[in-house]
Amino acid sequence: MNILVVEDELKAGNYLCNGLQEQGYSVSLARNGADGLHLALENAFDVIVLDVMMPEMDGWEVLRRLRQQADTPVLFLTARDDVVDRIKGLELGADDYLIKPFSFAELVARLRTLTRRGPTREEEHLQVDDLQIDVLKRRVIRGGVRLALTNKEFALLHLFVTHQGQVLSRTLIASRVWDMNFDSDTNVVDVAVRRLRMKVDEPFQNRLIHSVRGIGYRFDTQP
């Protein structure tokens, strides 16, 4: 496996390179985004490990430019753990996302998985019934009407749509959208779902967000 690591932190970059080389992999290291993009476009790598916060060019811009010319699998490795950042990375074309601090064994396992299955892309356009989502432009339209959603509302709706028909617990929703452990005394999930319903469901005849008593919510065209 030929791996490119793009990491500006000296200690972290050396740790990754040494660890991956000990596993028998060929590893190239770039210390900033500009050098990383150059190496990625000039060489054939099986997978790229890409940090987000870097000098000269951040990981978002590296990935955006890379996807204009190449489809090499990319794993974001970063301390940025906000769900909006994770969605942004996937929207730009990342294949996986691992948060620092991490288990090195898990990193290796994820890289092996990426190289086995090849690159996969998040769908850019999603549709359920008369609801349409342009993921890249973060545009939501239902029944021909443009819906104005906050970042959290968009993240919540995206979670619902990509798990259509599944019952999602409040705990799962809280961990995915707010990256927090759900406290039974906190009604943040219910409040957010109620606000999303006001925009996505209430003005329209067919309801898509359904409550599942004692558990959470289900997003489906069927009641």
Q: What three-state secondary structure class fits 164?
A: coil
96 contacts 114 by C-beta, under 8 angstroms: yes
Q: Which domains does the chain have, with CATH numbers?
A: 2-117 (3.40.50.2300), 125-219 (1.10.10.10)
pLDDT tens column, 14-29: 999 999 998 889 999 9
**pLDDT value at residue 160:** 94
Q: Which tokens go with 108?
A: 């290796």
Residues with Cβ within 8 Å of 210's Cβ and at least 6 positions away in sequence, in order, are 217, 218, 219, 220, 223
pLDDT tens column, 144-159: 999 999 988 998 999 8
Look up tokens 């967000």; give the residue: 209
Alpha-carbon Rg for the chain in angstroms: 20
The string of DSSP codes covering 2-60 is EEEEE---HHHHHHHHHHHHHTT-EEEEESSHHHHHHHHHHS--SEEEE-SS-SSS-HH
Higher per-residue confidence, 139 vs 137 = 139
Residues with Cβ within 8 Å of 50's Cβ and at least 6 positions away in sequence, in order, are 6, 36, 59, 62, 63, 74, 75, 76, 77, 94
Q: Looking at residues 93-105, what average pLDDT do you find?
A: 85
pTM (2 d.p.): 0.54
pLDDT tens column, 32-48: 999 999 999 988 899 99
Q: What three-state secondary structure class fits 71?
A: coil
Which residue, 140, 115, 131, is CA-closest to 164? 131
Q: Which tokens go with 41?
A: 């476009």
Q: Looking at residues 47-69, what average pLDDT do you find?
A: 89
